[in-house]
Homo-oligomer: A and B are copies of this chain.
Amino acid sequence: MTAPRYTDLVVSLPATVPFVGPEALTRERGRPFRARLGANESGFGPAPSAIAAMQDAAGDAWMYGDSECFELRRALAAHHGVAAENILVGEGIDGLLGNLVRVMVAPGDAVVTSDGAYPTFNYHVAGFGGVLHKVPYRDDHEDPSALLTRAEDLSAKLLYFCNPDNPMGSWHSARIVQRMIDAVPDGTLMVLDEAYADAAPDGTAPPIDPGDTRVIRMRTFSKLYGLAGLRVGYAIGAAPLIAMFDRVRNHFGVGRLVQTGALAALRDQAWLRHVQAEVAAARDGLREIAAGHGLHALPSATNFVTIDCGRDGDFARELVAALRERDVFVRMPGVAPMDRCIRVSTGPQEELDIFDDALGACLRALG
């Protein structure tokens, strides 16, 4: 017996995973978190109508889901004013990014992103042998001009841009994003990750032009729709690009209950507006909490607030660890100089209060 003959590519990949989830952290710690504010989930919950729809559908789980996600795609198309052929439903933005990289990136191909942006995108690029090129943030924002220049210089296959941004919460206006789309170099596809668009002010997401072959946009039910546990997101793009995914995707990978829950959530825009108001109020609350401890909260167009701790990355890492000791789950940017900050998800007032108390205690303890 010998070990299986893995591909050279997979052998070359690191064994690390992009994120250690809250459940894994809970097992390591041996006790649950009192405040779950680290994964940008929606502690305000999914729409009661979506919960009821999933409960009603549970007995139908013996049937495969629709491999074409027909009803959900049709509803999403109507919601965004595009055709169903412009919509691809997938296993969260993570799953969509994986398949996107697969159809676009061959070993050695150049891909451009920002240094400190979404690790799971980087994971997929590495996983298909792409070569990542990272452009620094500028004043805690992704830098459109520098990203475009780098993509042009490298003739990059993909250019990743997250607006509003994770992990900084910053954003560019629709006008700047549209200008960026218009300037995407020939032969480069822009990946516009709009996971947090539902939390952003009007005028952040540019209008959708479904015929534009230069950009593919990513949206999700994991954030303000409160359905992270379903793992469902969607891409919006030109029909030929969307069709290309049919050659590689797991066709029955989006299950029946998932489609039911997402469709019900989409139909309940009143709940989305309710959550948007809760998120806005919680952002204000987090800003006040930060100020109360002498820290500065960065402006946010997302469902989290990034708080500048005023010192270096080592201090912020110690603070995140100390908060976890006090059963508060938050995360932080991984790259300097943004790693002077911690990233705190919005959530119910009780959890913000727990964070407030723990933050004060931790800051005193760390001195």
A residues sitting closer than 8 Å to B (CB atoms) are: 1-10, 13-15, 17-24, 27, 36, 39, 41-46, 50-51, 54-55, 58-68, 70, 91-92, 94-95, 98, 102-106, 109, 120, 127, 157, 186-187, 189, 212-214, 222, 226-231, 240-241, 243-244, 246-248, 250-258, 261
Are A230 and B7 interface neighbours, CB within 8 A? Answer: no
Copies of this chain per assembly:
2
- Most chain-B CB neighbours within 10 Å: which of A5, A20, A70? A5
- Please, how many angstroms separate the alpha-carbon atoms of A332 and B1 in the complex? 38
> Chain B residues with Cβ under 8 A from A251's Cβ?
17-19, 21, 94, 120
Q: A10-B102, A21-B67, A98-B250 are in contact. List 9 more A-B contacts (CB 8 A).
A: A1-B212, A4-B213, A5-B157, A10-B103, A41-B62, A55-B55, A61-B230, A91-B250, A257-B257
Are B257 and A68 interface neighbours, CB within 8 A? Answer: no
> Chain B residues with Cβ under 8 A from A65's Cβ?
229, 231
Given contacts A104-B5, A258-B255, contact A24 B68 (CB under 8 A): yes
Which of B39, B189, B253 contacts A91, CB < 8 Å? B253
A96, closest chain B residue (CB): B250
Are B24 and A66 interface neighbours, CB within 8 A? Answer: yes
Write the nearest CB–CB distance from A6 to chain B, whole angstroms.
Answer: 6
Which of B1, B20, B55, B228 contacts A63, CB < 8 Å? B228
Are B91 and A63 interface neighbours, CB within 8 A? Answer: no
Interface pairs (23), CB distance under 8 Å: A3-B240, A4-B187, A4-B241, A6-B244, A7-B102, A7-B106, A10-B102, A10-B103, A18-B251, A21-B251, A44-B62, A45-B62, A46-B59, A46-B62, A51-B58, A91-B91, A92-B250, A92-B252, A92-B253, A120-B251, A127-B248, A255-B255, A257-B257
